[in-house]
Amino acid sequence: MTVVALILVGIAAGVIGSSLGIGGGLIFVPALVLLLGFDQHLAEGTSLAVILPTAAVGAWSHHRQGRVVWRTALGVGAAGIVGAIVGSRVAFSLDGVVLRRLYAALIAVITIEMIIRSFRLGAGPQEQDPSPEDAVST
């Protein structure tokens, strides 16, 4: 049962991530907490363990297509390591319930941004991304 739920969550995250460009962490963490009863810290650690290999494969394929600007990536990535160590230490200094409420605040902000984006998309076809699929469907 748990395995089935995990596979379904993974599939949903893959579909949503590939089409809307939303990172898996926004899906894995709440799904693990709400559907599978994970504690907030364990959900976040498990989410990171999914993000790392996924990002590594993605970075490799982007690199082969020559899209990664490495000078920027190295600078931002190095600073990202420092930020990540500080951020994860702060996460462990907080109680799970406090961390979960902060996480809820983060996704509330992102949700508001998405509501605005969906209204913009719905406002008119001329504002949509002019990709070939859109040209066919609209």
Question: Minimum distance between the CB of residue 8 and other proteins, rounded to whole angstroms?
Answer: 7
Question: Minimum distance between the CB of residue 4 and other proteins, rounded to whole angstroms?
Answer: 9
Site track 21-50 with other proteins (rule: CB under 8 A), x = hit: xxxxxx-xxx-xxx-x-xx-xxxxxxxxxx
Work out whether 108 is an interface residue with other proteins (CB under 8 A): yes
End-to-end CA distance of the chain: 40
Work out whether 1 is an interface residue with other proteins (CB under 8 A): no
Question: Minimum distance between the CB of residue 95 and other proteins, rounded to whole angstroms?
Answer: 14
Question: Minimum distance between the CB of residue 1 and other proteins, rounded to whole angstroms?
Answer: 12
Work out whether 126 is an interface residue with other proteins (CB under 8 A): no
Work out whether 72 is an interface residue with other proteins (CB under 8 A): yes
Work out whether 79 is an interface residue with other proteins (CB under 8 A): yes
41, 88 Cβ separation under 8 angstroms: no
Which amino acid belongs to residue 97? V
User: Which of helix, strand or coil describes residue 69?
Assistant: coil
Work out whether 98 is an interface residue with other proteins (CB under 8 A): no
Q: What are all long-range contacts of 37-45, with beta carbons under 8 Å and residues at least 24 apart?
A: 39/96, 40/96, 40/97, 40/99, 40/100, 40/103, 41/91, 41/92, 41/96, 41/99, 44/91, 44/99, 44/103
Work out whether 53 is an interface residue with other proteins (CB under 8 A): yes
